[in-house]
């Protein structure tokens, strides 16, 4: 299994050899732009420990202090991408320097050169070996923690789940207060640093605005309906990450009864823990509510409710534990409008015979189809829009021809 951290994919199955990473690929570029033994601004490159779509992560050592660090190098294949990453790094470094939170990964050094951009961060905790110099040593991410826990007889307790996600919510609150969005919150991007969770990989970090593009990792990135209704992209990522922590499953399994419990099954949890699981599921549903007024005000409010044993406010949330998949009512309405608009588009054919009926039918159908454009049935809506426009135009033409012929006396009424 491969997990991503610090902008690169880290093997979480215990293989961090350079050969394995080279075979895994890294966006089609040469991983070995850097060479072991090379020195960059006082940091000696040792070995490759991760690779991903935009860069590679190397183990390095401070030549002045002798301690180990992580160095991410991004090749200059795309100058636009390099500039975006550099701007994101500068914004993040300025904010992180002011925040000084253990939950926010500090960037200790940034620089550019002709063949790329690199930056230095603390080295995450490791597993597989106690010595980072050995190939068996791998950086520890939350994805690796989940992967390793699946093989154990017991899953996390409710307190352990909250212990992992609460610092991340605190980090996201700090970034939000600074006017920044992470946009790629997921288990692979949460490092374990000095025993505590820490939010890493800021490659997609940007300023918070009302025209944020959809980006990130499918399943953990916010869908268009959530963003268009004012949802915070990092709230979606935090809630789906919490679901993965709770169940060990990817977010596309949310709402399905068979994937509500940890890999060891419902029976592995004592009754108080089962109740806590249900409570946390209800809080996840609230964080992802289709209506803005139904969501948490911010990450701090989410964290407070998570820590509060009485963190359920309505019986409706408790009753929603039936295992049925939660589909936002806005999406349901959109689908209904889409289907109705398509049917009205077909009925618009009556406008060829009776324009007085066809015109209002086509107008109503057009409005319904446009309303359904935000639903998952977008192509169906486009077909409805096309049908309604065609028959509306034909009905108007037919009506105009009939009026003209009647007005000129060529048709006697």
Lowest mean pLDDT: which of 102-116, 164-178, 333-347? Answer: 333-347
pLDDT tens-digit readout, 43-58:
999 999 987 656 789 9
For the chain, state the CA radius of gyration.
27
The average confidence (pLDDT) of the chain is 80
* Euclidean distance between CA atoms 250 and 159, whole angstroms: 21
pLDDT of 131 above 70: yes
Average pLDDT over residues 110-133: 92
**Taking a C-beta distance cutoff of 8 angstroms, is the pair 369, 386 a contact?**
no
pLDDT tens-digit readout, 375-413:
556 666 778 778 878 877 887 887 777 766 666 655 444
pLDDT of residue 399: 76
Domain presence at residue 283: yes
One domain for residues 143 and 8:
yes
| H-only helix segments in 214-354 | 224-228, 233-247, 271-287, 299-307, 315-319, 329-347
pLDDT of residue 378: 62
Residue 5 confidence class, pLDDT cut points 50, 70, 90: very low
DSSP string, 223-255: PHHHHHTT--HHHHHHHHHHHHHHHSS-GGGTT
Lowest mean pLDDT: which of 18-32, 141-155, 166-180, 314-328? Answer: 314-328
SS3 letters across 132-151: CCCCCCEECEHHHHHHHHCC
One domain for residues 198 and 263:
yes
359 vs 118 pLDDT, higher one: 118
| H-only helix segments in 64-157 | 79-99, 142-149
Torsion sign over Cα 296, 302, 305, 306: positive
87 vs 107 pLDDT, higher one: 107
pLDDT tens-digit readout, 288-297:
999 999 999 9
Residue 26 confidence class, pLDDT cut points 50, 70, 90: very low
Percentage, residues of the chain above pLDDT 70: 76
Domain presence at residue 143: yes
User: Can you name the residues that pair with 69 across neighbouring β-strands?
Assistant: 60, 122
Domain presence at residue 174: yes
One domain for residues 107 and 173:
yes
Domain presence at residue 147: yes
One domain for residues 237 and 128:
yes
One domain for residues 290 and 336:
no
How many independent structural domains does the chain possess? 2
* Euclidean distance between CA atoms 201 and 6, whole angstroms: 4
Q: Which of 322, 354, 369 is the last residue of a domain?
A: 322
CB-count exposure of residue 78 (10 Å: 0-12, 13-18, 19+): middle
Domain presence at residue 69: yes
Distance of CA 218 to the CA centre of its chain: 6
Closest CA to 178 of 99, 87, 296: 99
Residue 113 confidence class, pLDDT cut points 50, 70, 90: confident
One domain for residues 360 and 239:
no
pLDDT of 234 above 90: yes
**Taking a C-beta distance cutoff of 8 angstroms, is the pair 31, 51 a contact?**
yes
**Taking a C-beta distance cutoff of 8 angstroms, is the pair 388, 366 a contact?**
yes
Closest CA to 166 of 134, 142, 130: 142
One domain for residues 158 and 182:
yes
Highest mean pLDDT among 28-37, 71-80, 94-103, 239-248: 239-248
pLDDT tens-digit readout, 337-372:
777 767 876 776 766 667 777 788 878 877 877 776
320 vs 132 pLDDT, higher one: 132
Domain presence at residue 412: no
**Taking a C-beta distance cutoff of 8 angstroms, is the pair 200, 191 a contact?**
yes
One domain for residues 218 and 362:
no
pLDDT of residue 406: 64
Here the tokens at position 132 are 């980072």
CATH of the domain at 291: 1.10.510.10
Which H or E run contains 61?
A: strand 56-62
Domain presence at residue 253: yes
pLDDT of residue 374: 60
User: Can you name the residues that pair with 402 across neighbouring β-strands?
Assistant: none
One domain for residues 315 and 359:
no
One domain for residues 183 and 113:
yes
87 vs 6 pLDDT, higher one: 87
One domain for residues 238 and 127:
yes
Q: Which of 322, 356, 378 is the last residue of a domain?
A: 322
**Taking a C-beta distance cutoff of 8 angstroms, is the pair 73, 47 a contact?**
no
* Euclidean distance between CA atoms 164 and 13, whole angstroms: 20
What length is written for the chain? 413
User: What letter would DSSP give residue 385?
Assistant: H
Residue 318 confidence class, pLDDT cut points 50, 70, 90: very low
One domain for residues 304 and 395:
no
* Euclidean distance between CA atoms 321 and 313, whole angstroms: 14
pLDDT of residue 384: 73
CA neighbours within 13 Å on the CB side: how many for 100? 1
Here the tokens at position 408 are 């000129």
Range of the domain at 383: 329-407
Q: Which of 264, 296, 322 is the last residue of a domain?
A: 322
* Euclidean distance between CA atoms 265 and 101, whole angstroms: 36
Which H or E run contains 206?
A: strand 206-207
82 vs 250 pLDDT, higher one: 250
308 vs 304 pLDDT, higher one: 304
């Amino acid at each position: 299994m491969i997990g991503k951290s610090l902008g690169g994919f880290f093997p979480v199955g215990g293989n961090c050899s350079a050969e394995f990473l080279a075979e895994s690929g890294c966006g089609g570029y040469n991983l070995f732009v850097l060479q072991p033994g090379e020195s960059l601004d006082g940091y000696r490159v040792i070995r490759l420990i991760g690779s991903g779509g935009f860069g590679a992560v190397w183990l390095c050592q401070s030549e002045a202090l002798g301690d180990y660090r992580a160095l991410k190098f991004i090749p200059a294949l795309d100058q636009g991408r390099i500039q975006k990453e550099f701007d994101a790094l500068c914004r993040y470094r300025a904010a992180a320097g002011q925040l000084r939170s253990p939950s926010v990964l500090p960037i200790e050094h940034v620089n550019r050169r002709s063949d790329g951009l690199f930056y230095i961060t603390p080295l995450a905790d490791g597993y597989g070996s106690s010595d980072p110099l050995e190939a068996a040593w791998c950086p520890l991410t939350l994805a690796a923690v989940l992967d390793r826990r699946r093989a154990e007889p017991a899953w996390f307790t409710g307190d352990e789940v909250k212990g992992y996600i609460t610092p991340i919510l605190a980090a996201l609150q700090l970034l939000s207060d600074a006017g920044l969005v992470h946009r790629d919150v997921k288990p692979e991007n949460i490092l374990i640093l000095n025993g505590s969770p820490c939010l890493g990989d800021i490659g997609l970090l940007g300023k918070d605005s009302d025209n944020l593009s959809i980006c990130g990792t499918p399943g953990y990135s916010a869908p268009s309906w959530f963003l268009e209704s004012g949802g915070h992209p990092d709230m979606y990522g935090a809630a789906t990450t919490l679901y993965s922590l709770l169940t060990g499953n990817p977010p596309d399994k949310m709402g399905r009864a068979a994937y509500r419990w940890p890999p060891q099954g419902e029976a592995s949890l004592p009754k108080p823990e089962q109740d806590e699981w249900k409570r946390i599921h209800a809080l996840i549903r609230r964080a992802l509510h289709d209506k803005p007024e139904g969501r948490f005000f911010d990450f701090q409010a989410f964290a407070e409710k998570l820590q509060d044993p009485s963190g359920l406010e309505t019986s409706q949330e408790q009753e929603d534990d039936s295992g049925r998949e939660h589909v936002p009512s806005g999406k349901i309405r959109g689908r209904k409008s889409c289907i109705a608009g398509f049917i009205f588009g077909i009925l618009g054919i009556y406008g060829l015979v009776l324009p007085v009926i066809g015109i209002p039918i086509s107008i109503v159908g057009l409005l319904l189809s446009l309303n359904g454009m935000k639903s998952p049935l977008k192509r169906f809506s486009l077909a409805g829009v096309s049908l309604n426009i065609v028959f509306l135009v034909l009905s108007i033409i037919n009506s105009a021809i009939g009026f003209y012929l009647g007005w000129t006396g060529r048709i006697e009424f």
